[in-house]
Amino acid sequence: MAVSSLRLASAIVWITTALFLLAVLFVALVIPIHAQDALTFGEWSRLVSQHWHLRYAAATGQEYGRPLFYVLQGWVWGIFGYAEPLGRVLSGLFSVLLLGSVVWLVRDRDWGSLAGLLAAFALISSPVFAAQAVSGLTDIPVAALVALAGALVWGRRPAPARAVAIGVVAALAMLAKPSALLALIGLALAQLLLGESWRSRLLYRVAPLGAGIGLGLLYDFVQARYVHQGLRTFLQAGVNSDYYRTLADEARRYALLDGNWFGDGLRVAVFFALIYAVLRLVGVSHRLCVAVGVPFALFASWLGPWLAARESDGTVGSFHSVGAALAALGTAAFLLFGLGSRDGAVVSRGELARLGIWAIPTAAAWALYGAYDFRLLAPAWPPLLALVALTALPAAKTLARRGAVALAIPFALFAIVVAENVYNLDGLQKSGWSEVRRTPSGDWLDKSTMRAIVMPAFSRALAAVRPQMRPGDLLMSPEGAFRFFFPGHVEQSYPNNCNDLHRFRVFVLTTDEGSKRYMEQFLHVSGEPSFWAACKQPRLKQLTDGSEGYAVFRVGA
C-alpha cells in the first residue's frame, strides 16, 4: 500500500514540477532580463563577452564579489553571441540545481523519497523562488551551491573523493555571492554535532568546507585589495550603507513577524516547523509537539502578521482571504496526521539541532542587514526548507500507510498552490501574464516589446536616452540598469551639484520617493527635476518630465 501511495504522490509532484519548469523556460525565452541588479551587474557580463578579461574601470566591488554567475554568463555570450535568453536559461539551470540539491538533502533516511517530494513542493510553491528562478541574480546560484554542499556532507561519512567535491562546491558558493560565507560556516559547525569520531568529523566534513571557505576568502581578499577596500567592507558591499541599514530597520518588524518568507501557502508549515523544532530540542515528545505545535502555528499565522501590521487590521496573514484561510486550515489538518507516526519518519533531535545551527548565522545576518527583501535569505533556504519537509514527513507517512488516495489528496491540493505560484514567475503577477497573452505571439521574441511589459517606464526612458548617446558619450544616473545597455559608459551615482554633470552627455534622475529621500536626507540636495532643469553650468535640456520615475536630461544643450 505504501509503495502505491508513493508512486501516485511522486507522479503528482514530478508532473507538477515538470509543468512548472516548462513555464520557467517559457519566461526565460520570452521575457528579457529586467531585475534591476541583474541589469546592473550584467554590464560586467557584457564587458566580459566583448573583451574576454575580467577587470574593467566600470566594474565595482559588488560585481567582483559575484564572479561565478556573471563571468559564466559573459563567457556564454562570448561563445554563442549576446542573447538575453541564454543568460536567463543559465540562471534557470541553477534553479534546477537548487531543486535537486534540496531533494537530495532530505532523502538519506527512512521514507526519504517522501521527504524529497515534500521538499520539492515546498520550494516550487514559494513565490520568492518563482520570482528569482530565471532573474539573473545571484541569490539562486548561492542557495543552490550551499544546498549542494549540504547534500554532499549531510549523510554518511564522505569518502575522500566526496570530501574534495565538498571543498570545490563550497569555494564555488563563495564565488557566487559573499553571503555564502555565513551559511557555510553554519554548515561546518553543524557537522560538529554528528555522532562520529572527531577525526572523521574534522577531516572529511569540516576541513573540506573550511578549505572551500578559505579559497573563497582568498579571492575576496585579492579583489578587495584591487578596489582599495577592506575585506569586511568588500564582503558587506551593498547591504551595509546608511541607506540599506535604514531600509532594514524599517522592514525588520514586518519581516520577522509576518512569517511570509516562503509565501502564504507555507506560512503555517513554517511556523509549525520552527515551533516543533524548539519544543523537540527542549525535550518534548514528538506527539506532544504536534498536538501543541499545529494549533499554535495556525494561531501564529494570524497573530504574527497582525503584530507586523501594528495591530491595525485583523484580516491579515492566513486569514486575509477565504482562500488563504482554507489553505491554512488544510495545512493544519494535514500536519495533525503526524500524531499517528511515532518512529521511522520522525526527525531526530540531533538533526533538528544541526539544521538550526546551519540556518541561524544567515538568518541573523538577514534580519540585521537584509530584512527589506526575502530573497536575501536565500543561503538559508536549504536548511529551512529541509526543516519544513522533515517536520511534515510524519504526517505524510501516516497518510501513505492509509492508501494512495489518502496521500494523493493533500499533494493534489498543494499542486493547486504551485499552479497559482506560476503567476509569480519573474515577478510577472497576473497583470504581466495578461499582457503577455494579449501580445501577438510573433512579437514574443522582440525584446523591446516584451521589455515594455515588465519595465514600461524604464523602456520609455531608454527610448529617450538612446538617440542622445553617441559613441564614447557618458551617462550618469542612479539607475544602474542603464549600465547593461551602455556597458562601460555609465556612471551609477547621484550628482551632488550641477558641476558634477560636465563630463556627461545624458543625465537620468530617478524620481521615486526612495531616491528623493536619499538625495535629500543623505546628500542634502534636491531630488526634484525642476532643480536640475535650472542648472546653468552646464545647461540641461529636460527630455522627460519624471512623472514615470525617470527624468531624462541632455547635458550641454
Please check whether residues 418 and 504 belong to one and the same domain: no
Please check whether residues 394 and 529 belong to one and the same domain: no
Contacts of range 211-215, beta carbons closer than 8 Å, 24 or more positions apart: 211/167, 211/170, 211/171, 212/149, 212/166, 212/167, 212/168, 212/169, 212/170, 212/171, 212/172, 212/173, 212/174, 212/184, 213/170, 213/171, 213/174, 213/181, 213/184, 213/185, 213/188, 215/167, 215/171, 215/174
How would residue 284 be classed by pLDDT, with cut points 50, 70 and 90? Answer: very high
Please check whether residues 237 and 386 belong to one and the same domain: yes
Out of 431, 466, 497, pick the residue that ends a domain: 431
Out of 415, 431, 447, pick the residue that ends a domain: 431
Name the percent of the chain lying above pLDDT 70: 100
pLDDT tens by residue, 340-364 = 887 779 999 999 999 999 999 999 9
Report cis status (omega within 30 of 0) of the bond before 160.
no
CA distance 342 to 395: 10
Q: Please check whether residue 540 lies inside any domain of the structure.
A: yes
Q: Please check whether residue 285 lies inside any domain of the structure.
A: yes
pLDDT tens by residue, 29-64 = 999 999 999 999 999 999 999 999 999 988 888 899
More confident residue, 526 or 324: 526
CA 202, distance to chain mean position in Å, is 31
pLDDT tens by residue, 212-263 = 999 999 999 999 999 999 999 999 887 877 878 888 999 999 999 999 999 9
Q: Please check whether residue 440 lies inside any domain of the structure.
A: no
Q: Please check whether residue 441 lies inside any domain of the structure.
A: no
H-run or E-run covering 476: strand 475-477
Taking residues 499-512, report their average pLDDT.
Answer: 96
Residue 545: partners with Cβ closer than 8 Å, 6 or more residues away: 529, 551
Please check whether residues 427 and 460 belong to one and the same domain: no
Please check whether residues 227 and 354 belong to one and the same domain: yes
Residue 284: partners with Cβ closer than 8 Å, 6 or more residues away: 292
Please check whether residues 459 and 385 belong to one and the same domain: no
Q: Please check whether residue 96 lies inside any domain of the structure.
A: yes
Q: How many independent structural domains does the chain possess?
A: 2
Residue 1 has pLDDT above 70, yes or no: no
**551: containing domain:** 455-555
User: Model pTM?
Assistant: 0.94
Please check whether residues 425 and 459 belong to one and the same domain: no
Residue 88 has pLDDT above 80, yes or no: yes
Q: Please check whether residue 446 lies inside any domain of the structure.
A: no
Please check whether residues 420 and 463 belong to one and the same domain: no
Instruction: Please give the pLDDT value at position 167.
Output: 97
Instruction: Please give the pLDDT value at position 341.
Output: 81
Please check whether residues 425 and 460 belong to one and the same domain: no
Instruction: Please give the pLDDT value at position 202.
Output: 93
Give the sign of the dihedral formed by CA 401, CA 405, CA 410, CA 415.
positive
CA distance 174 to 181: 6
pLDDT tens by residue, 405-429 = 999 999 999 999 999 999 999 999 9
pLDDT tens by residue, 323-332 = 888 889 999 9
Please check whether residues 171 and 124 belong to one and the same domain: yes
Q: Are 29 and 88 in contact (CB under 8 A)?
A: yes
Residue 288 has pLDDT above 90, yes or no: yes
Instruction: Please give the pLDDT value at position 557.
Output: 58
Please check whether residues 490 and 425 belong to one and the same domain: no
* Grid cell 552646464 in the structure block, residue: 538
Please check whether residues 373 and 477 belong to one and the same domain: no
Amino acid at residue number 161: A
